[in-house]
Amino acid sequence: MFRRLLTLSHRVIHLFCLYIKHTVLAWAHPLPKKIEVYPGEEGSIEHAIVAKVMQSVPEATVAAADDYARPFISLDGEWVATGWQAVVRYLGFIDRSMPTTPTSALKVNMFLEIVADIVARPPMDQDEFERALMPFETAIERDGVRPDHLGDLGSVSLADVVAWEALNHAVSELADEFDWSKVPLTKEWFQLTSLDAELDGGDREGGEDKKGE
């Protein structure tokens, strides 16, 4: 009973500290009045990823650009950065799906780096896609994360959103149905991850504390 109360107290204090932290961050770094994002060429894997992440950031609007321009972001009417990884990381900080604690951010970035390698590859056949997924499978196994949450945050992270969209896009381009038998953990995560609900900016950094309880 005492242990339960102690755990509950720890959780309440943790949530209160998170609230204070995000309040201070919002005050110190207010959002730009205007966030414009060009997701990339329609139909590309980069477009699919950026457009999905944008759904959780209502402040972000779609910017006009040439059809073959790379994804980019402009803040308050000024161009800031280009590249889908830079764009989604910025949006992830806004909706809190990108953690601010170093260890959690490290794990999320690990999965983002693996996905970036998949995105950079030309269209793949079954064998090539399977080989491309092996680092992803190994990372899930070594990290010991819940199958439906990458990065051990206890909730949907930026890595979940980006990876699911990338893999879904790649699978849809295969000529035949993909055989997941050699990447069972990736298959389990892919099937369990539900991205239909918007990321609501909830507690996305509690996973580390939960792990130690």
Would you write out the chain's pLDDT as a tens digit for each of its 213 residues? 667 776 677 667 756 665 675 566 555 566 788 999 999 998 899 999 999 999 989 889 999 887 668 999 999 999 889 999 999 999 998 888 888 788 888 999 999 999 999 999 988 999 999 999 999 999 998 876 666 688 766 778 999 999 999 999 999 988 788 999 999 999 989 988 865 444 444 444 444 433 333
Query: Domain locations in the chain?
Result: 1-30, 35-95, 102-212
Cβ–Cβ under 8 Å, residues 152 and 107: yes
Decide: residue 136, CB within 10 A, 0-12 exposed, 13-18 middle, 19+ buried.
buried
Cβ–Cβ under 8 Å, residues 95 and 155: no
Q: CA-CA-CA-CA torsion for 52, 19, 101, 120, nearest 10 degrees?
A: 10
How far is Cα 26 from Cα 94, in angstroms, rounded to an integer?
Answer: 9
pLDDT of residue 19: 60
pLDDT of residue 209: 39
Q: What is the per-residue pLDDT across 45-74, written as a single tens digit (0 to 9) for each?
A: 999 999 999 998 988 999 988 766 899 999
Cβ–Cβ under 8 Å, residues 167 and 118: yes
Q: Detail the DSSP E strand segments found in 141-199.
A: none
pTM metric for this prediction: 0.78
pLDDT of residue 197: 40
